[in-house]
Amino acid sequence: MTDTSWMRESATFTRPVIAEIERAARTGIYDIRGFGARRCVPCFDDLLLLGASMSRYPLEGYRESCRTDVVLGSRFASKPLHLDIPITIAGMSFGALSAQAKEALGRGASMAGTSTTTGDGGMTAEERGQSKHLVYQYLPSRYGMNPDDLRKADAIEIVVGQGAKPGGGGMLLGQKISERVAHMRNLPEGIDQRSACRHPDWTGPDDLEIKIQELREITNWEKPIYVKIGASRPFYDVTLAVKAGADVVVVDGMQGGTAATQEVFIEHVGIPTLPAVRQAVEALQELDMHRTVQLIVSGGIRSGADVAKALAMGADAVSIGTAALIALGDNNAEHEEEYNKLGTSAGFYDDYQDGADPAGINTQDPELAARLDPVEAGKRLSNYLKVLTLETQTLARACGKSNVNNLEPEDLVALTIEAAAMAGVPLAGTQWIPGQNPL
Amino acid sequence: MTSFDLTDGVRSLNQHLQQPHDAATQITAVNAKGKHAVAVGATQLHNITIDGNVGYYCGGMNQHAHIHVKGHAGPGLAENIMSGSVRVTGNAAQYCAASGHGGSVVIEGNASARCGVSMKGVDIVVRGDVGHMSAFMGQSGTLVVCGNAGDALGDSIYEARLYVRGTVKSLGADCVEKDMRAEHKEQLRALLQGAGIDDLAVDEFRRYGSARQLYHFDVDNASAY
């Protein structure tokens, strides 16, 4: 074997970079994949919570209550959502996911007392049937969109953008356009389906205000209306969403997942969740709408620590997508042999677009999809949501909070200058918030 | 006959249209004066006449009702219509019948840009012209244009059928002219008849639809994406 220990690898042309150039030269088409951004960006790991000590006292971990419920959509809707926990399931389509996976998401969310969300392609009976609280996404493609389902939903989420690809439309490759998916979306079976990047009947915030009025008229002013944006200019986008009449704003950072997007889009467009939360909260505060219009944050939420930090920064709730799929069984090592056959390994699998997911989640292949037991997978998701909630409560109690939503920026410090600047909290051990006050 | 004065808003009318009724009702709405979301979300058969111009989204998500606007319509007329019909005596602004899943829409005047954008089964008949990017990403249904069509007609079209009597300024990506066979003439004849147009011959129209060259991603089509 050649001794490579003395060789110096290029920092610019790393082996993955070389491999991608070779792949592009070989195929002539950009790389499309699922999952989310792999690059390292400042995130909630770069923040720490300040536990209570002399100046404030903590709550007893197993004795004193710490509320976790949250009301979403109380601004204008006559029937806001009242969830048991501030952790919701993000929109993921039937088409990208199997019907079994959608059902499992509904089951898990319902057991944990929270909401799940449809996705591009409309609402499935399985999902509606198993979801106590179901948010109906209203997307540019309007695939599967119909007023009956709109009225069956518990809330409506107008999707303007997605953290993995702000400004981009969707795609669902032909391998996943099964007969049922094609029928629901009114498309020929087996084609590579494109989803528009802009809504077909409104452009800009003034139109959106009228669109929201129409949706409220059609649903009797009952349903909370969310506006979801991919984080790129969250201060302005949140401001405009509030002006347009949103009850809830969802801000999805660049670590948010996708079922199929160009690699270059996933890794190079949008901003991380960390600064997006701060800018969104600042917009709400400037409008005096913080806590009146609720803020849901998504994009890379993995643990109760992430949840607690997002809430401390001012979010009312968070949303999870990739983590929920992992809880169902995505990338589980039990499928290692099959991942190897696909040229990958458990923990690295991201070719969701190909529809060959051994875990039966990101697929429309009936045999693969049948591998996922919606009841067992739903239980795993419920367990995971409960752990996230317990962890969040643990941290909130340590900070002396009897309600997880009482966590506040004062409970946070940052480990790096970058994170301090992005989150708007002091660098640990200092009073310094870069960009806000002098040393 | 039930009458609604829209001076104070559209809520009463829309509530009426979404409540169950034993039988179809005749409804008139007056003083529309460009109001938005007039007669949206109807759930069953009604015959509705709206006097005056309407704003955005009139007839949006209509099911079963027949809506007749005696005036002009703003953007998004009959967006996502599922069934029933919407007829406008004047012109319609952009996004007419956007994402319409079924039913029929008739514009006696002209329709602006993106008429039938993302259409999914609706039948649209425009007596006059349509603007640019009409039937963009049209999935199914039919757009009949008795006048002329603007730029990029049928761009990225799927399976929608387009019939144009006048000129087409340009065709969009993957949209091509196709043969007018007997079944197409029969379909067009029925649509014109349904729209109350009896002074035009089907032989005057040309048919356009998808070349189906962009249905699968192919590097050789990169310039068309």
ipTM: 0.96
- CB-based contact B79 A28, cutoff 8 Å: no
Question: Which one of A31, A143, A151, A186 would you mutate to disrupt binding with B, by most B Cβ within 10 Å of its Cβ?
Answer: A186
Q: Are A230 and A161 in contact (CB under 8 A)?
A: yes
Report the pLDDT averaged over residues B142-171.
Answer: 97
Kindly list the residues of chain A whose beta carbon comes within 8 Å of any beta carbon in chain B. Answer: 27-29, 141-142, 145-147, 150, 173-174, 185-188, 191-192, 194, 196, 200-202, 207, 210-211, 213-214, 217-220
Q: How far apart are the first and last CA of chain A?
A: 55
In a 13 Å sphere around the CA of A189, the CA atoms on its Cβ side amount to: 5
At A417 the pLDDT is: 97
Q: Residue B115 and residue B134: Cα distance in Å, rounded? A: 5
**pLDDT for B224:** 66
Mean of the pLDDT values across residues A260-269?
94
Query: Is pLDDT at A421 greater than 80 in this prediction?
Result: yes
Does residue A438 have a pLDDT over 70? no
Angle A139-A140-A146 from CA coordinates, rounded to 5°: 55
pLDDT at A49 over 80: yes
Q: How far is B41 from chain A (nearest CA, A)?
A: 5
pLDDT of residue A436: 83
DSSP summary character for residue B81:
-
Kindly report the backbone phi and psi dihedral angles of residue A324, in degrees, each rounded to the nearest multiple of 5, phi listed first. Answer: -65, -40
Between A435 and A164, where is the model more confident? Answer: A164
Mean pLDDT, chain A, integer: 95
In the block, tokens 């309007």 appear at A142
Task: Please list every residue in chain A whose beta carbon sits closer than 8 Å to the beta carbon of residue B40.
Answer: 214, 217-218
- Across the range B127-132, mean pLDDT stands at 98
Check residues B153 and A173 and name the one with the higher pLDDT. Answer: B153
Mean pLDDT, rounded, for B82-95: 98
What pLDDT band is residue A437 in, cutting at 50, 70 and 90? low
Neighbours of A438 (CB within 10 A): 5
Q: What average pLDDT does range B148-164 have in this prediction?
A: 97
For residues B87 and A46, give the distance between their C-alpha atoms in angstroms, rounded to a whole number.
Answer: 59
Length of chain B in terms of residues written: 225
Between strands A412-414 and A47-49, the pairing is antiparallel
B219/A29 touch (CB, cutoff 8 Å), yes or no? yes
Of A145, A201, A213, the CB nearest to B36: A213
| pLDDT higher than 60, residue A439 | no
> Per residue in A321-369, pLDDT tens?
999 999 999 999 999 999 999 999 999 999 999 999 999 999 999 999 9
Residue type, A330: D
CB-CB contact of A341 with A358 (8 Å): no
Q: What is the pLDDT of residues A91-120, one digit of tens each?
A: 999 999 999 999 999 999 999 999 999 999
Average pLDDT rounded to a whole number, residues B3-32: 94
pTM > 0.80: yes or no: yes
With a pLDDT cut of 90, the percent of chain A lying above it is 87
A59/A63: higher pLDDT: A59
Alpha carbon distance A205, A238 (integer Å)? 11
**pLDDT at A55 (0 to 100):** 87
Show the tokens assigned to A94.
Answer: 């039937």
For range A182-189, the mean pLDDT? 88
In 3D space, the residue among A101, A150, A155, A143 whose CA is nearest the CA of residue A119 turns out to be: A143
Three-state SS across A410-424?
A: HHEEECCHHHHHHHC
| B56/A211 CB distance under 8 A | yes
Using the beta-carbon criterion (under 8 Å), do A192 and B215 form an inter-chain contact?
yes
* Nearest by Cα to A93 from A133, A132, A145, A129: A145
What are the Cα distances from residue B28, in Å, to A218, B3, B13, B166?
19, 5, 10, 35
Interface test with A, best of B10, B36, B44, B61 (most A CBs within 10 A): B61
CA A54 – CA B91 distance, rounded (Å): 72
pLDDT at B66 over 90: yes
- Please tell me the predicted confidence (pLDDT) of residue A174: 82
Evaluate whether B176 touches B211 at the Cβ level (below 8 Å).
yes
CB contacts < 8 A, A to B, total 102
Structure token digits, residue B184: 């197409």
Report the distance separating Cα B47 and Cα B26, nearest Å: 5
C-alpha separations of A324 from A35, A104, A140 in Å: 12, 10, 24
Q: Is the dihedral of CA A347, A353, A354, A360 positive or negative?
A: positive
Q: Which of B34, B35, B14 is nearest to A221 (CA)?
A: B14
DSSP-derived 3-state class of residue A345: coil
